[in-house]
């Protein structure tokens, strides 16, 4: 079975209570279940992780690069300023899809810049938890 790593950045562990008018009412555990369900239907396996720490996310990207694993990433706030996350993502060889629950381009100006988008096969934003479902479906068709 093909495997995909789904990596989540800071504050996404607070989904459910964090600004639900922007991010919806599902928790990250709900989203993880949805991802496993979607992946199973497509005969894929998912390794789903979240961290609030930049260094941990970098280590996971190194691991994905070494194991040649496809990555779906919601870098959260790191999207907008972390050159270190971008540099780690640049080492991936198997591909990358960037996801966001909200549509950062329709929000504050500081969210309009993504350091990751230029490295990604594509970006899926603005569909809430369904952004993850769409990303898994896109990966399955690649």
Residues of the shown chain interacting with ligand DQA in the complex, contacts defined by CB under 6 A: 11, 74, 76-77, 79, 100-102, 104, 111
Residue 2 beta carbon to ligand DQA: minimum distance, rounded to whole angstroms:
24
- Which residue, 20 or 93, has its beta carbon nearer to ligand DQA? 20
- Which residue, 93 or 118, has its beta carbon nearer to ligand DQA? 118
- Which residue, 2 or 56, has its beta carbon nearer to ligand DQA? 56
Six token digits for residue 81: 């300023």
DSSP structure string for 75-123: -TTHHHH-HHHHHHHTT-SS-EEEEESS-GGGS-GGGS--SSGGGSSEE
Handedness of CA 80, 85, 90, 93 (dihedral sign): negative
| Known catalytic membership, residue 80 | no
| Known catalytic membership, residue 100 | yes
Residue 95 beta carbon to ligand DQA: minimum distance, rounded to whole angstroms:
19
Element (H, E) at 70: strand 70-74
CB 124 within 8 A of CB 97: yes
Residue 100 beta carbon to ligand DQA: minimum distance, rounded to whole angstroms:
4
Q: Active-site residues: which are they?
A: 23, 100
């Amino acid at each position: 079975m093909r495997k995909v790593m789904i990596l989540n950045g800071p504050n996404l562990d607070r989904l459910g209570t964090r600004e639900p008018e922007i991010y919806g009412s599902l928790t990250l555990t709900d989203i993880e279940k949805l991802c496993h369900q979607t992946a199973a239907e497509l005969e894929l396996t998912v390794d789903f992780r979240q961290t609030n720490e930049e260094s941990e996310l970098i280590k996971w990207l190194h691991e994905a690069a070494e194991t040649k694993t496809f990555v779906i990433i919601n870098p959260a706030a790191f999207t907008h300023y972390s050159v270190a996350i971008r540099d780690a993502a640049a080492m991936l060889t198997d591909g990358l899809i960037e996801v966001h629950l909200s549509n950062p381009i329709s929000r504050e100006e500081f969210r309009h810049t993504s350091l990751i988008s230029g490295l990604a096969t594509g970006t899926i934003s603005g569909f809430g938890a369904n952004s993850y479902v769409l990303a898994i479906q896109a990966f399955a068709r690649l």
